[in-house]
Each structure stands twice: as structure tokens, then as C-alpha cells.
Amino acid sequence: MSLRLKVSKVSNESLQNQIFEQVRTMILEETLKAGEPLPSTRMMSEQLGISRNTMTLAYERLEAEGYVDMRKSVGTFVALQVPGVATFTPAGEPPNVDDDGSAPCERIALRSDELKSQALVNASLRRLTADFWPGRPDPNSFPLKMWARLIANCLRSAGAALTEYRDPLGVRELRQAIVDHLRPTRGIMVDAEQVIIVGGSQGGLNLACRLLVTLGSSAFVESPCYQGAAYLFESFGAKLHPVHVDDNGIDVSKLPATQNAICYVTPSHQFPLGVTLSLDRRLELLAWATRTNSYIIEDDYDSDIRYRGAPIAALKALDRCERVIYVGTFSKSMGAGLRIGYVVMPATLFDAARHIKTLTNNGQPWLPQAALADFITNGSYDRHLRRIRHSYQARRETLLAALQKHFGGSTIVGDNAGMHLVWRMPDQLPPANVVEKIALKAGVGVYTLNSGGAVDFGVMRDSDRYLVLGFTAPSEREISIGISRLAAALRSGQSAGKAPRASL
């Protein structure tokens, strides 16, 4: 007797494993019946042209796992008691879930076809000469030398920090450095015990959802709103209620007296529109939360990046009734690759938050936290912020000048802050999604509100007039080239009758 096995010596997989897998499958599918003798290792090794030792090792593993019996000087046999073979489902047979496609979905918090998630990576980046994708720090701005030195120092003094579990709330020194930074810059007076280190602001939003959002919860969000928040709330089964945003931020007067709701806001620099929530609305919003026993999630994603005046204090700085969950991140100021954000939790939610954070992932990696703590405490972070504010402001002005030069009197929405701006295109230009396509053909990345990371809920009157332009990653030169190419593309688009005249 012999076995029909196919082995490849060039496969990544060892010969021993190839043999093991194939024989095991024959046994489980009962091509080889219980008690049936197997060819000798000698015969098989000759047949397959492999070393006898390899063949023996494969048989020994089959025996170790109970598939075969090796009887000394008698031979190798399919085990009599390979149990449960009958219940084994061969690969061919389609899994149950296909018989009843809906079944698994019922058990997913939402039907998976309803799940959406935020766009993070610009798929067409490679094809672009100039890309205005928002929220991307200048890669060259990253303080690589200092960072490498701090990382190396941390590693030298790591001790058991790499091998053992630590406080899931985060590295103590980093939590202290953060509160020392929040006090003067954001007016938030808390101590390190109230801070939880998370995986970017998204990790903070997720933590808030685990505490506050269950199926049917009411979530009031800005319209337009950051995708990563809106889609996350939906994934937890929340009902989304978009609330109009004007020049003073979210229109708090539109919030109904719904009890036990959440309200998600970006008060310092609304995403995407860039407006600041006015003081009176901040106070009204806090009063609403207190009245309705609701919680406010304050996403302060880019408040470290302002070009004029002191930033207005955070909503959390006014929070006397423990209604505000404050979410901050280093993804914009340092880089998203670090995946370091933080949450300031109301005392009333803190114990639950500590449990949920532990259950979610046992805390964040130690090394980047430790290095960042040193980076902030040795003053490098403040220096870094001054540097990037300076260069980002120059890029912003270059962008404004280019828009002025090529498109004349066009409008910028929002404050002199952040890493992107929203451009209200002149009325004679085609709709934003058309402009986005024309630009892409010309190797320039400009984005509608939706493709730029926002949800406009289709309720915004003139959303097709707006483009999101991130100006921090491209150089000043790329910015000028990008905008002039955009103008040229729109002109030729028009001359080819594809789009109306661009004002020049």
C-alpha cells in the first residue's frame, strides 16, 4: 500500500508539516480508515525523495496527537480510536453561516453591513503631487533625534517595564505631565489620578461609549460631525441626532430635554468647520447636561495648534458638575503613529472607566508612553509646539494666498487654528465632489466634507460648496503648485465643457 502525498521542497512550510497535514486530513476525512496500516517510513521517504528522518518525525507527531499508533517492529496504523471523526466537517462542505446568512449578524452588535468606520488613510496618496488630506502632521517636523535618544534611554532603564503588566490607566509620569500641560493651556485643574491614557482620541471615544452608550441611547452630534465619532456611536447602537453648527459652534438651543443622552462636541476647533464654541453656548451646554443627566464628550483633538491669541479654556475647565468627558490626543501635535491619547474622566465615572479600560486591553504599550513623558517634562514638547505652530502658520498663509491668487474672493470658514481649513468655493465652480475628481486626475488631493473625514448627514444646505484642505503635511511649494494645478485643471475642465468657468 502507499499514500498519495504531494510535498514541495520550495514551500515555506517544512516537509514534515506538509506530510503531517496531509495524512491528518486523510484520517479525519476517513480516506484512511481506523486501523488501516500506513506505508513504512522507508517506503514513503523513497517515494517522496525525502530523508527518512523527516518522514519519521511526521509519523511521530501524528502519533503524539493521537492520529496513528506506531507499533515497534510491526508498523504504523491509523489509530483505532481517532475519536469524533464522524463529527468532522470536511473543507468542502459550506459552513452553517452560509445556510443562514443572517444568523451571525444577529449576534454582531449591529448587522455588519450597517457598520461603517472612519477613513484614515488616503488610498490615492501615491498618485498625488500635492495632497491636502486633513489631520496629517508634517513628517519632517517629527523630533526624531530627540525621540530616538529618549527611547534609547527608556529602554536602558526599562527593568521589568517591557515584560510585566503595569497600571492599565497608563504610565504615571505621563499622566502627571499631561495634567501639568492641561492646567495652563486649557484651564483644566485635575490631578493625574483622573487621567487615563488611551489609544489616540478614538480610544478615548471608545472608552466613553463603553460607559455611556447602549442600544437606543440618544447621541447628539455636531452637523457636520467627525466620522470616527458618529460611526462609533452608531456601532454601539446609539440613535444619532445631528445638531446644526453655525459660526458660534453647535446650536445648543436646539438640544431637546432628552434624559441620559450624550452630546459629542469639538468646542475649540469644530471638525470639520473650524469654528469655536462660544462661551455662552458652553455654559448652556453644561446646564443642559446637568438638567438632563446627560454627559458631554469634549474632543479637543487639535487645541495645541493655534496661531493667534490664547486658546479659549476647555469646556472641561467650566465643568463643575462632572458632566464632561475630556478627550485629548498627541496624534495631531506629535503623530498618529504613536497612538497616544488621554481622557479626563468625571469622578463619578472613574471606577467604571478603570474597569472598562482594563477589560479592553490591559492598557497601552509602555515604551512610547515613557518616552513621551520625558519629552514633555524636559520641555521638548513646548519647543516642538512652537516650531510646528510657526511652520504650519506659514503653510496656512501660503494656502490662503494661493486660493486668493487663483480663485479670488473665496471664503474661509472657521478660526485661525488647526491643521486644515474649510474653503467655501466660488459659486461658479462645480460641486465639491466634481472638483475632487477633477483635482485627483490632475494629481491634487482636495476633499469634500464627507471624503475629508466628516459626515454631513445630508442636512447641510450648501455642503457641496465646501472643500477640506489640510495644509500641514505638504510643503509651501507643494501647496502653491497644488492650488495652481487645481485652478488649471478646473479651467481646462471648463474649456472642455466639463465644468463651468473658474474665476481668474
Q: Which of residues 283-342 bind its own copies (CB under 8 A)?
A: 283-284, 286-287, 290-291, 293, 295, 309-310, 312-313, 318, 320-323, 331, 334-340
Q: From 2-10, 31-39, 65-73, 456-464, give the range in contact with its own copies by CB under 8 A.
A: 65-73
Of 50, 212, 240, 469, which one interacts with its own copies (CB under 8 A)? Answer: 212
Of 134, 170, 203, 224, which one interacts with its own copies (CB under 8 A)? Answer: 203
Cell of 349: 465615572
Q: From 41-49, 138-146, 423-431, 461-469, give the range in contact with its own copies by CB under 8 A.
A: 138-146
Question: What torsion, rounded to 10 degrees, do the Cα atoms 201, 203, 206, 208 define?
Answer: -60
Q: How far apart are alpha carbons 152 and 155 in whole angstroms?
A: 5
* Residue 430 CB, nearest approach to its own copies (Å): 29
Is there binding between residue 279 and its own copies (CB under 8 A)? yes
Of 19, 55, 211, 240, which one interacts with its own copies (CB under 8 A)? Answer: 211
Per-residue b/e over 375-389, b at no fewer than 16 CB within 10 Å?
Answer: bbeeebbeebbeebb
H or E segment at 470? strand 466-470
Is there binding between residue 351 and its own copies (CB under 8 A)? yes
Nearer to its own copies, 35 or 337 (CB): 337
Q: Of 437, 423, 415, which is closest to residue 470 (Cα–Cα)?
A: 423
* Residue 499 CB, nearest approach to its own copies (Å): 31
- For the segment 393-452, give every residue that binds its own copies (CB under 8 A): none
Nearer to its own copies, 110 or 488 (CB): 110
* Residue 8 CB, nearest approach to its own copies (Å): 13
Other beta carbons within 10 Å of 69 = 18
* Residue 148 CB, nearest approach to its own copies (Å): 5
Q: Of 440, 446, 441, 437, which is closest to residue 474 (Cα–Cα)?
A: 446
Q: From 64-72, 398-406, 418-426, 492-500, give the range in contact with its own copies by CB under 8 A.
A: 64-72
* Residue 427 CB, nearest approach to its own copies (Å): 34
Other beta carbons within 10 Å of 6 = 8
Q: How far apart are alpha carbons 107 and 129 in whole angstroms?
A: 45
Q: Sheet of 324-329: strands edge to edge?
A: 195-198, 341-344, 324-329, 295-299, 262-265, 218-223, 239-246, 249-250
Is there binding between residue 166 and its own copies (CB under 8 A)? yes
Nearer to its own copies, 103 or 504 (CB): 103
262 backbone φψ class: left, alpha, beta (φ>0; ψ -120 to 50) = beta
Nearer to its own copies, 95 or 497 (CB): 95
Is there binding between residue 459 and its own copies (CB under 8 A)? no
Of 30, 36, 167, 476, which one interacts with its own copies (CB under 8 A)? Answer: 167
Nearer to its own copies, 334 or 422 (CB): 334
> Considering Cα of 255, then 260, then 261, then 267, what sign does the dihedral take?
positive
Of 54, 55, 178, 199, which one interacts with its own copies (CB under 8 A)? Answer: 199
Q: From 32-40, 87-95, 403-411, 433-441, give the range in contact with its own copies by CB under 8 A.
A: 87-95
CA angle 176–181–182, rounded 5-degree value: 100
- For the segment 258-277, give every residue that binds its own copies (CB under 8 A): 259-260
Cell of 80: 483505532
Cell 496531509, residue? Answer: 22
Q: How many helices (H) and strands (E) does the chain have?
A: 15, 18
Is there binding between residue 61 and its own copies (CB under 8 A)? yes
Is there binding between residue 173 and its own copies (CB under 8 A)? no
- For the segment 225-254, give every residue that binds its own copies (CB under 8 A): 228, 231-232, 235
66 backbone φψ class: left, alpha, beta (φ>0; ψ -120 to 50) = left
Q: Of 269, 264, 214, which is closest to residue 416 (Cα–Cα)?
A: 269
Q: What is the DSSP string of 65-92?
A: TTSEEEETTTEEEE-TT-TTGGG---SS
* Amino acid at site 357: K
Nearer to its own copies, 297 or 502 (CB): 297
Of 97, 124, 129, 477, which one interacts with its own copies (CB under 8 A)? Answer: 97
* Residue 50 CB, nearest approach to its own copies (Å): 16
Nearer to its own copies, 108 or 504 (CB): 108
Nearer to its own copies, 468 or 487 (CB): 468
Is there binding between residue 34 and its own copies (CB under 8 A)? no
* Residue 409 CB, nearest approach to its own copies (Å): 28
Is there binding between residue 157 and its own copies (CB under 8 A)? no
Is there binding between residue 256 and its own copies (CB under 8 A)? no
Q: Of 168, 24, 17, which is closest to residue 91 (Cα–Cα)?
A: 24
The Cβ-side half-sphere exposure at 312, using a 13 Å CA radius, reads 18
